[in-house]
Amino acid sequence: MNPYFIVDTAKAFDQASADLHAAVTANGFGVLAVLDLGDSLRSKGINFSEQCQVFEVCNPQQAASVLNKDMKLTMALPCRISVFTEAGQTRIGMIRPEGMLGNLSTEPGLMEVAHDVESTTTAIIQAAAV
């Protein structure tokens, strides 16, 4: 299975970012931070023409469930959803939680939580893209 879930959208970058923020909160997750990688690179004098914002998102109950099973997964949390442009196309995507957590831990019950998180974050991305 493809380790990424990416959806193309006809929306402009700024609109897709705003709609992602709204979809995150509408689905019981919170936005912890938004990292603007494109602006960060350009502020360092790097010629970077694409736009990219990384949303660090979290559902506290799901995060606690993951960490109660395996504290090493603090290095994989929070979930990250990116809005980015690529050759003029606005895209919204993430690394699939099920695959990522399945590769990082074999703790019983973890895949059920990862499945629930992936279902919700997939729905968030799809809602923001339309």
| DSSP H/E element including 33 | strand 30-36
Q: What is the pLDDT of residue 1?
A: 81
Tell me the three state secondary structure of residue 54.
strand
For residues 116-124, give the mean pLDDT.
98
34 contacts 4 by C-beta, under 8 angstroms: no
Using pLDDT thresholds of 50, 70 and 90, give the confidence band for residue 108: confident
Give residue 92's domain range: 4-129
* Number of domains composing the chain: 1
Tens of pLDDT, residue by residue over 4-39, are 999 999 999 999 999 999 999 999 999 999 999 999
Domain containing residue 108: CATH number = 3.30.310.70
| DSSP H/E element including 79 | strand 79-86
pLDDT at 128 over 90: yes
Mean pLDDT over each residue of the chain, to the nearest integer: 97
What is the value of pTM for the model shown?
Answer: 0.95
Centroid of chain to Cα 13: 16
